[in-house]
Structure 1
Amino acid sequence: MWTETGADSRPSVEMPQLFERGGDLISFAGGLPDLDLLPLKELSEQLARLTRIGGRIALQYSTPHVARALVPAITDLMAREGGRADAEGLVPTAGSQMGLLALALSLGTPGETVLCQTPAYPGAAAAFRTAGLRPYGAPEDAEGLDTQALRATVARLRAEGQRVRMLYVNPTFQNPTGATLPLERRYELLEVARELDLLIVEDNPYGLLGFDGRTVESLQGIDPGNVLYLGTFSKVFAPGLRCGWIAAPVPLAERLRRTTEVMALSPSAFTQAALAAFHTRGGWDPLIGAYRERYAERCGLMADALDAELGTDGPWRWRRPEGGFYLWLRNPGGADTRRLASAVAGQGVSFVPGGHFGLDGECDDALRLCFSNVPRGRIAEGVARLASVLRGAEAGTVGVEAGAADGGWAA
């Protein structure tokens, strides 16, 4: 019999409040791509042709495999960062979020610990907790994941009786910090992971969005036998199609397929066919190049505005990222950004408080700003509104309300 006590044993997961739009709101919250760059006329013609000619197949149920026609499109994307796509090891998902839950349910055992690069993408922590796993922050230094300290952390956790088998990382233009793990550190991490028998989960939505077009070799490309790679079309194409993939070592792929089949019954054959057709007709270069250029401009506008409004020697610190969607501000002297968010909302601006990216109450002194979808003409205005509240809070002239601006996940 189902009881209230039984219900309480499952974690509570909140849906995000990130995508509000309209009115005078300037949203620096949700990680939305700029779909003004999509070639909608060409795309609509391709979709119409697909529906007319192949609709009876594309709109039917399918099997839990990546469609053969889509494999070259995935192979192309992964190869740009040195990745390797084996068709037998590809598992279709409705974006990386589904992939995270699928791998947690397939490969994790309730009660075990998953090490996470921190600050961590909240959707990953939510997926792990939903599967009954325990996210735990992996040690870091100024260069990112600290491989020497990782050995000691894993040894300590295992000595305490905890089962530790997976390490979750978002190594390129990380959400939320925008940081990238250096190549040398990637090789060190993979060596230590093999030594410790840790399976690495590499979540890589932003790796192809470097502003100068350069890429860093993916962890999966270096060591495909010990890395589960989460890929998605949400950031390099469009999130509304809800299409992604897991590139897994072949022995693990079938377990993952069984779980994704339970979760979704079948992937969208229509979505896969549409993406395959787009790639076949024009490739990825024009769209990805346009995204890179647009995001580089938006990031520059936001960083310049922050420099002008908050200065470079004040209490707030940030680094200009070299790609991705986000700027991460931190106040080493201490700030409660959950409380500040309500005051900023009163000025018509939204951001994600840093506490959402902590695993155990950390990062409350930080906030994440997303520049990817903000109209270029409103970035400086939004930063000015934000800065006025931050300065007022430092001076004690701005009141904030406790408990406001709770946001859930932060895509």
Structure 2
Amino acid sequence: MHTQLDTLSLHESLESPVIESMNFLNEVSQRFPDALSMAAGRPYEGFFDTDDVHEYLRLYESHVRAQSGGDEQQVRRTLLQYGRTKGIIHDLIAKNLATDEGIEADPESIVVTVGCQEALFLTLRTLRRDDRDCLVAPMPCYVGATGAAALADMRVLPVAEHSAGIDLDDLIRVVTEAKANGLRPRACYVVADFANPSGTSLGLDAREALIRLAEEHDFLILEDNPYGLFQAPDAAPTPTLKALDGDRRRVVHLGSYAKTGLPGARIGFVVADQRTTSADGRTTLLADQLAKVKSMLTVNTSPIAQAVIGGKLLAHGCSLRAANVRETELYQGNLRHALDELARQFPTGRRPEVTWNTPSGGFFVVVTVPFPVDDELLMHSARRHRVLWTPLHHFYGDGRPRRQLRLSLSYLTPDEITVGIDRLADFIREQCDVQSLQKGIS
């Protein structure tokens, strides 16, 4: 006899719209393989080469051999045995952060994770003591962050976002009201460079102001930075929040090598150099507390996968900015091409009135249309017009249709972008005609 489980008896996060989003979007792509996908925020595959994996492994193997004085047993143990919970390439990650981001991090403050998603969960799970603890996040927000919060039983308090990033005035309001209601805002999640989905970036003044607010109102900043390297080559990069956090009190830096290394390696990391004090007065790094949680979750991150990323770092002098020159050029070219194609299809002053934002880097463009878009319209677009995109309601987590959709440009060639936007334009015009007909009937 089989026991049938009631879904209401399972963890409540499993019924969250946010948790459903990832699966739904993946399933739509599988259901409509002939549809051109402008939905997936994946790196371009044209530069992938399996030979690189072998080269990187050998480079890292040689690195370990040199460090161990030629101890072959140590080489085998490092690559093939269970590894250190906090990771084995923490020293190379520290050099990478110093080289590319100006972040001076003690290697011991770094925990190497299974993608940035685990870094998010470890941090939120560690910060969540009881029901009063909550996460503040700008909306729309990357679903991985709000989904991780749901799994960690941490409520999310939404903050408004405008064209220049998180609305700091609204952040103050939300944090102040939360405290007045007996809640503890523990952290604010933010993508300061080319946020997903909105593509917005925080200016230097706003970054410095956010750190001051975190100090004044006593919360941490969880800085996620997957797209920061992919900006115009002639643009001066704005310092990361972590680089600006001089006393290392407020910013926990979350990183991933999915976009800049190899997504299949699934290597991320968290820099958590804040000090924690126990009841007996002993102090340890927050990273050490995260490692305790990780030891009960994934035990350690695959040493072989770490070795592949470690080898890529070694191959490029620990600079992934240098390693991603051709990728950056491609993403920048795709972004410019998509904006040109949108302007060609939807000239200013002509109907239908369609607008879009103009980020200076990253993977995404948000398009505003004259009608609400939902998952049903997405499936219609895939079935009839053979183009996929992402309804923006997935990044709010409430299931309420909005007049916006996200286009992802990273995975495509310029020709595919032209085809995709042509198909999208046909879909938008069709839906505008449907709306006009419905209004005429009513």
> Do Structure 1 and Structure 2 share a fold, with TM-score over 0.5?
yes
The corresponding residue for 1:221 is: 243
Does 107-116 or 73-82 show the bigger shift?
73-82
Query: Residues 379 and 149 from structure 1, CA distance in 2 versus in 1: closer, same or farther, beyond 3 angstroms?
Result: closer
The CA deviation string for residues 274-322 of structure 1, in whole angstroms up to 9 with x for no partner, is 2222222333344311110011111122111111112234532212221
Say whether 1:210 aligns with 2:206.
no
The CA deviation string for residues 85-118 of structure 1, in whole angstroms up to 9 with x for no partner, is 2111101111111111111111113433211022
Say whether 1:237 aligns with 2:261.
yes
Q: Which sections of structure 2, spanning at least 5 residues, go unmatched? A: 63-71, 275-284, 438-442
Query: Residues 360 and 161 from structure 1, CA distance in 2 versus in 1: closer, same or farther, beyond 3 angstroms?
Result: farther
**Could you say what secondary structure the match of 1:237 adopts?**
coil
The corresponding residue for 2:46 is: 36
Asked if the contact 2:80–2:304 (Cα under 8 Å) also holds between the matched residues in 1, the reply is yes
Asked if the contact 1:340–1:390 (Cα under 8 Å) also holds between the matched residues in 2, the reply is no
Query: Residues 279 and 358 from structure 1, CA distance in 2 versus in 1: closer, same or farther, beyond 3 angstroms?
Result: same
The corresponding residue for 2:23 is: 16
Query: Residues 237 and 17 from structure 1, CA distance in 2 versus in 1: closer, same or farther, beyond 3 angstroms?
Result: farther
2:362 partner letter: G
The corresponding residue for 1:159 is: 180
**Could you say what secondary structure the match of 2:83 adopts?**
coil
Q: Which sections of structure 1, spanning at least 5 residues, go unmatched? A: 400-411
Equivalent position to 1:287, from 292, 307, 323 = 323
**Could you say what secondary structure the match of 1:80 adopts?**
helix
Kindly indicate which of the two structures has a greater share of residues assigned to strand: 2
**Alpha-carbon distance, 1:56 to partner:** 4.7
The CA deviation string for residues 128-152 of structure 1, in whole angstroms up to 9 with x for no partner, is 0111111121133442222233222
Query: Residues 339 and 60 from structure 1, CA distance in 2 versus in 1: closer, same or farther, beyond 3 angstroms?
Result: same
The corresponding residue for 1:403 is: none
Partners in 2 of 1:398 and 1:26 — Cα distance? 27
Asked if the contact 1:89–1:248 (Cα under 8 Å) also holds between the matched residues in 2, the reply is yes
**Alpha-carbon distance, 1:396 to partner:** 1.1
The corresponding residue for 2:289 is: 255
Higher Rg of the two aligned structures: 2
Partners in 2 of 1:321 and 1:103 — Cα distance? 29
Say whether 1:318 aligns with 2:352.
no
**Alpha-carbon distance, 1:213 to partner:** 5.3
The corresponding residue for 2:432 is: 394
Equivalent position to 1:95, from 100, 112, 115 = 115
The corresponding residue for 2:278 is: none
The corresponding residue for 1:104 is: 124
Query: Residues 9 and 50 from structure 1, CA distance in 2 versus in 1: closer, same or farther, beyond 3 angstroms?
Result: closer
The corresponding residue for 1:338 is: 375
Equivalent position to 1:302, from 324, 329, 338 = 338
The corresponding residue for 2:37 is: 27
Equivalent position to 2:418, from 380, 386, 410 = 380
**Sequence identity, in percent?**
28
**Alpha-carbon distance, 1:17 to partner:** 4.4
**Alpha-carbon distance, 1:272 to partner:** 1.7
TM-score w.r.t. the length of structure 1 is 0.88
Query: Residues 33 and 141 from structure 1, CA distance in 2 versus in 1: closer, same or farther, beyond 3 angstroms?
Result: closer
Q: Between Structure 1 and Structure 2, how many residues are aligned?
A: 397
Query: Residues 321 and 350 from structure 1, CA distance in 2 versus in 1: closer, same or farther, beyond 3 angstroms?
Result: same
Partners in 1 of 2:264 and 2:81 — Cα distance? 19
Partners in 2 of 1:361 and 1:158 — Cα distance? 28
**Could you say what secondary structure the match of 1:211 adopts?**
coil
The corresponding residue for 1:357 is: 395
**Could you say what secondary structure the match of 1:201 adopts?**
strand
**Alpha-carbon distance, 1:252 to partner:** 1.1
Partners in 2 of 1:183 and 1:86 — Cα distance? 25
Partners in 2 of 1:338 and 1:78 — Cα distance? 43
1:385 partner letter: R
User: RMSD across aligned C-alpha pairs, in angstroms?
Assistant: 2.6
2:333 partner letter: E
Query: Residues 8 and 274 from structure 1, CA distance in 2 versus in 1: closer, same or farther, beyond 3 angstroms?
Result: closer
**Alpha-carbon distance, 1:369 to partner:** 0.7
Partners in 1 of 2:331 and 2:257 — Cα distance? 17
The corresponding residue for 2:306 is: 272
